[in-house]
Amino acid sequence: MGEKVIEVTDENFEQEVIQSDIPVLVDFWADWCGPCKIFKPVIEKIAKEYEGKLKVCEVDTTISRNIGINYKIKALPSLLIFKDGEVKNKSVGLKSKADIIKNIEEVIGEE
């Protein structure tokens, strides 16, 4: 079984997210963040449902601080949706799966 959610670090962020041919949902989290742990199963379900249409990545902000600093991540969990290397949507805090999917569909639908 392949892992649907890709762990991204300062080293592979450019390759996995910025250079991606398809839109990318990036979940910024940390091990000490309780809401992030609650959020994780929702992110994993979205990764399975959108496989092939959306890449889903996660960034542990305690390990990869530079990415969080570059994108001004001030609270966790934070979700950024990238398309063509640019942030198209940003949300902070726990969101419902329906809200996340709405944001994804808005970005995927942009042509």
Which of 5, 33, 92, 108 is labelled catalytic?
33
- Of 22, 25, 20, whose CA–CA distance to 5 is shortest? 25
- For this structure, is 57 an active site residue? no
Q: Which of 8, 17, 26, 36 is catalytic?
A: 36
Catalytic (active-site) positions: 33, 36
